[in-house]
């Protein structure tokens, strides 16, 4: 059984149809990139695939297990420390013990920023705190909406490496991005403009 | 049962059936209202205590009864919309809310008009009037919530939840207002509404209550049909249907 | 402890931590309560025999309003920063995690208000024998207020300028608790026993505890869908 199987999915917002007749099947060890211009519905589709939005969705979406979903808003509280933020993650089988959290923080290069409130870090560092969840999760399927925004070149390389490692281990990733990325593994491109309505 | 519910949910079917119903119901409603109001206002006997002013109950009581029932109708439509995801139930709820609010306002207004000659003041914090006022607030909440959502499918779900919450609360609100009134009764005017009503007044009153129910059904159906027409303005079946009529 | 218990406890502690990291959110409703209470003697005259009979009503109405002013922030930051999406996707039921959040909110806002209310009661010349009843009524009553307010907050969290709308939706539902609360305090200030009203209020709070969480969860899901 595939990790994600979306068949004949139609997404509407209010009375307006956004995407129509969409099929996407994600097996193990696959790296997918959603592409399409602004406003075509990448974020909407991500939320639909993850199961955040259910209203105005027709068709079947089968998920083998709860995926890890990281949306536009990264569920990071600026008033709490990076530790407290990462130890709370109710979805997608995230490990929350202290040792794992500090290992994840050093993996994203923030080993010294664990205790201070995240709001005092720079935007790029805050983004890295959110992405540190990729080092904590045990979910096989990752749904990442624009993971490459607001991080620098070294951060992007780090993220690419982590996505490839996950795919190499039999996991799968669906992400949306505008940036050109450098992957050594096969990248499957899913173009939303084929399914867009008017 | 299942197919019936789904049939009920299909706009073309609803549009056709409601058209047939209205063709009969509308004239009968007009007739019943005319008879009931003429009977109540002109032919029912004069009340020995209140004189002619009591006659406003022939509008006040039916409006109040149907307004309260209308909230339950709306909540029932909301439950249908949440449980069976019937789009037509959304339309029904959307249609029922303002009608109920207007009926509540009519009940409050006629109550005030009645209060002036009876109690010598336009407004009395009587238990029933106060409950009616709160019912109006509950209706206005649903209408305001509907307007606030841009996505109307979500608006319907939100209003359904709100009206179900309201339904659970209405009996508690009514009971608590009753207790509140008893507790403070020493300070306000006593009103003995429990006196038996003579049959010569009861029959026109009952007729008016039935007529108001029918009127409510007509207005809600007409309102729903208008909404269906807007939602399906590009659909071929609607053009054919209107062409047939 | 099962993983659900641990998660709910964590959710509760997290909300408390967030509240205490921004003390203004706890203190502002108390200031509001204090200032509005101070307006009544200024508006009606300072004579205690004038203030005392109205004190139960004033205290309860103002408590209700100060609860309303905080309710609309209940889920706002979780909605904006994406935490709510994670709660919806979680394997743990949203109704329970929302309940944990509402209880934390009640501890921070309602319990604080109830414990400080004797100060304001004295200012309004409420007879001293009614003060215990006032505290008890606010303690129980604010739990119900928080739960009902949370339904409104869940339904309006996605709406811009939803704070006023929330009040329109919720105030009619607050009527029973206002009646129970003021009646209890009025009876106690006459030297009677107000505990029957407190019992009614307790029943109302328990019913809210059972019935409100599913409505809150439905409301939050609708807000994410909109």
**Measuring CA to CA, how many Å separate A8 from each of A5, A11, A57, A142, C201?**
10, 10, 10, 21, 52
Work out the mean pLDDT of chain A and round it to a whole number.
86
- In 3D space, the residue among A137, A7, A128, A13 whose CA is nearest the CA of residue A67 turns out to be A137
pLDDT digits (tens, 9 = 90+) for A68-87: 998 888 888 888 888 888 88
- In 3D space, the residue among C160, C212, C195, C201 whose CA is nearest the CA of residue C179 turns out to be C201
Query: pLDDT exceeding 70 applies to what percent of chain A?
Result: 97
C-beta separation of B175 from B183 below 8 A: no
Q: What is the DSSP string of C150-191?
A: HHHHHHHTTSTTHHHHHHHHHGGGGHHHHHHHHHHHHHHHTT
Query: pLDDT exceeding 90 applies to what percent of chain A?
Result: 12
Give the other-Cβ count within 10 Å of A10's Cβ: 17
Longest dimension (CA), chain A: 51
> Are B157 and C204 an interchain contact pair (Cβ–Cβ within 8 Å)?
no
Mean pLDDT of the C45-54 span: 89
Name the least confident of A169-178, A188-197, B60-69, C74-83: A188-197
Q: Is the pLDDT of residue C104 over 90?
A: yes
> Are A75 and C83 an interchain contact pair (Cβ–Cβ within 8 Å)?
yes
Task: Compute the nearest-CA separation of A46 from chain B (Å).
Answer: 19
Q: Is the pLDDT of residue C44 over 50?
A: yes
C-beta separation of A137 from A86 below 8 A: no
Disruptive mutation site among A55, A56, A57, A198 for chain B (greatest number of B CBs within 10 Å): A55
Query: pLDDT exceeding 90 applies to what percent of chain C?
Result: 62
Mean pLDDT of the C46-57 span: 90
Could you list the beta-strand ranges (E) of A46-196.
57-63, 68-70, 141-145, 172-176, 188-191
pLDDT of residue B223: 93
Q: Is the pLDDT of residue C46 over 50?
A: yes
Work out the pLDDT band at C57, boundaries 50, 70, 90. Answer: very high
Distance CA C153, CA C163 (A): 8
In this complex, the residue of B144, B176, B180 whose CB is nearest that of residue C165 is B144
Mention every residue, 6+ apart, whose C-beta is less than 8 A from residue A172.
A3, A4, A26, A27, A28, A29, A30, A31, A32, A140, A141, A142, A166
Determine how β-strand A188-191 pairs with β-strand A57-63: unpaired
pLDDT digits (tens, 9 = 90+) for A129-166: 989 988 888 888 999 998 888 888 888 889 999 999 99
Report the DSSP beta bridge partners of residue A143: A69, A174
Longest dimension (CA), chain C: 59
pLDDT of residue B187: 42
Distance CA A167, CA A165 (A): 5
Residue ranges of A 161-190 with Cβ closer than 8 A to chain B: none
**Measuring CA to CA, how many Å separate C54 from each of A15, C41, C72?**
52, 11, 28
Torsions phi, psi of B192, nearest 5? -100, 95
C-beta separation of C60 from C185 below 8 A: yes
pLDDT of residue A93: 64
pLDDT of residue B245: 60
pLDDT of residue B3: 61
Q: Which residues of B touch C156 (CB under 8 A)?
A: 145, 148
> Are B161 and C215 an interchain contact pair (Cβ–Cβ within 8 Å)?
yes
Radius of gyration, CA atoms only, chain A = 17
pLDDT of residue B190: 44
In chain B, alpha helices (H):
2-8, 11-38, 57-83, 87-119, 127-148, 152-183, 199-231, 236-244
Return the structure tokens found at A97. Answer: 């013990």
Longest dimension (CA), chain B: 66
Q: Does C166 touch chain B (CB under 8 A)?
A: no
Disruptive mutation site among A50, A61, A91 for chain C (greatest number of C CBs within 10 Å): A91
In this complex, the residue of B134, B168, B183 whose CB is nearest that of residue C175 is B134
> Are C180 and B176 an interchain contact pair (Cβ–Cβ within 8 Å)?
yes
Task: Compute the nearest-CA separation of B83 from chain A (Å).
Answer: 13
pLDDT of residue B189: 41
Q: Does C196 touch chain B (CB under 8 A)?
A: no
Q: Which pTM does this prediction carry?
A: 0.90
pLDDT digits (tens, 9 = 90+) for A118-131: 989 888 889 899 89
Give the other-Cβ count within 10 Å of C174's Cβ: 24
C-beta separation of B18 from B221 below 8 A: yes
C-beta separation of C142 from C110 below 8 A: yes
Give the other-Cβ count within 10 Å of B30's Cβ: 14
Report the half-sphere exposure of C217 (CA within 13 A, side-chain side).
18
Return the structure tokens found at C129. Answer: 């024998």
Burial of B208 (0-12, 13-18, 19+ CB in 10 A): buried
Determine how β-strand A141-145 pairs with β-strand A68-70: parallel
Task: Compute the nearest-CA separation of B27 from chain C (Å).
Answer: 38
Mention every residue, 6+ apart, whose C-beta is less than 8 A from residue C6.
none
pLDDT of residue C180: 94
Distance CA B223, CA B230 (A): 11
Mention every residue, 6+ apart, whose C-beta is less than 8 A from residue B210.
B32, B36
Work out the mean pLDDT of chain C and round it to a whole number.
91
pLDDT of residue B194: 47
What parts of chain B have a pLDDT lower than 50?
Answer: 186-194
Q: Which residue has the tokens 């096989």?
A: A140
B51 DSSP assignment: B
Candidate ranges A41-50, A106-115, B138-147, C160-169; pick with highest mean pLDDT: B138-147
> Are C224 and A53 an interchain contact pair (Cβ–Cβ within 8 Å)?
yes
């Amino acid at each position: 059984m595939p990790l994600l199987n979306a068949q004949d999915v139609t997404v509407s917002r209010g009375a307006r149809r956004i995407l129509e007749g969409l099929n996407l099947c994600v097996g193990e060890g696959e790296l997918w990139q959603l592409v399409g211009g602004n406003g075509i519905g990448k974020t909407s589709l991500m939320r639909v695939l993850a199961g955040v939005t259910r209203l105005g969705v027709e068709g079947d979406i089968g998920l083998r297990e709860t995926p890890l979903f990281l949306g536009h808003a990264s569920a990071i509280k600026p008033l709490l420390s990076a530790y407290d933020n990462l130890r709370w993650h109710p979805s997608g089988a995230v490990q929350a013990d202290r040792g794992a959290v500090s290992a994840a923080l050093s993996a994203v290069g923030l080993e010294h920023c664990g205790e201070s409130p995240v709001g005092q870090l720079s935007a790029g560092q805050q983004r890295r705190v959110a992405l540190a969840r990729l080092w904590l999760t045990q979910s096989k399927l990752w749904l990442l909406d624009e993971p490459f925004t607001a991080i620098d070149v070294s951060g992007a390389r780090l993220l690419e490496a982590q996505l490839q490692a996950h795919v190499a281990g039999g996991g799968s990733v669906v992400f949306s991005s505008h940036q050109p990325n450098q992957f050594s593994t096969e990248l499957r491109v899913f173009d939303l403009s084929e399914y867009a309505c008017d | 049962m299942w197919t019936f519910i789904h049939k009920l949910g299909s706009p073309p079917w609803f549009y056709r059936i409601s058209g047939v119903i209205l063709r009969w119901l509308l004239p009968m409603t007009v007739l019943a209202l005319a008879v009931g109001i003429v009977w109540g206002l002109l032919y029912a006997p004069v009340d020995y205590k209140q004189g002619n002013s009591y006659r406003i109950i022939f509008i006040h009581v039916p409006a109040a009864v149907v307004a309260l029932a209308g909230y339950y109708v709306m909540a029932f439509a909301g439950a249908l919309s949440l449980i069976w995801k019937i789009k037509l139930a959304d339309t029904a709820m959307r249609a029922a809310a303002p009608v109920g609010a207007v009926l509540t306002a009519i009940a409050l207004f006629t109550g005030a008009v009645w209060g002036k000659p009876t109690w010598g003041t336009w407004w009395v914090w009587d238990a029933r009037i106060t409950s009616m006022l709160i019912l109006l607030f509950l209706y206005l909440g649903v209408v305001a919530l509907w307007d606030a959502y841009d996505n109307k499918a979500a608006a319907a779900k939100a209003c359904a939840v709100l009206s179900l919450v309201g339904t659970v609360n209405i009996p508690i609100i009514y009971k608590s207002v009753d207790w509140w009134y008893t507790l403070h009764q020493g300070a306000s005017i006593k009103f003995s509404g429990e006196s038996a009503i003579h049959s010569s007044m009861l029959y026109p009153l009952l007729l008016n209550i039935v007529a108001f129910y029918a009127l409510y059904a007509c207005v809600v159906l007409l309102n729903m049909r208008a909404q269906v027409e807007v939602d399906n303005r590009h659909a071929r079946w609607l053009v054919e249907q209107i062409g047939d009529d | 402890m099962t993983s659900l218990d641990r998660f709910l406890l964590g959710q509760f502690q997290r909300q408390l931590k967030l509240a205490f990291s921004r003390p203004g959110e706890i203190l502002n409703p108390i200031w509001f309560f204090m200032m509005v209470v101070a307006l009544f003697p200024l508006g009606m005259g300072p004579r205690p025999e004038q203030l005392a009979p109205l004190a139960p009503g004033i205290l309860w109405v103002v408590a209700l309003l100060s609860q309303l002013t905080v309710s609309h922030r209940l889920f706002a930051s979780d909605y904006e920063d994406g935490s709510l999406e994670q709660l919806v996707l979680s394997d743990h039921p949203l109704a329970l995690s929302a309940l944990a959040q509402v209880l934390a909110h009640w501890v921070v806002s309602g319990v604080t208000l109830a414990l400080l209310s004797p100060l304001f009661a004295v200012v309004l010349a409420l007879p001293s024998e009614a003060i215990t009843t006032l505290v008890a009524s606010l303690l129980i009553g604010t739990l119900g207020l928080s739960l009902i307010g949370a339904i409104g907050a869940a339904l309006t969290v996605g709406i811009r300028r939803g704070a006023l709308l929330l009040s329109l939706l919720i105030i009619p539902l607050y009527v029973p608790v206002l009646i129970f609360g003021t009646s209890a305090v009025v009876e106690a200030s006459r030297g009677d026993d107000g505990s029957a009203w407190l019992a009614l209020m307790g029943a109302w709070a328990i019913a809210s505890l059972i019935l409100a969480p599913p409505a809150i969860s439905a409301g939050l899901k609708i807000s994410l869908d909109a």
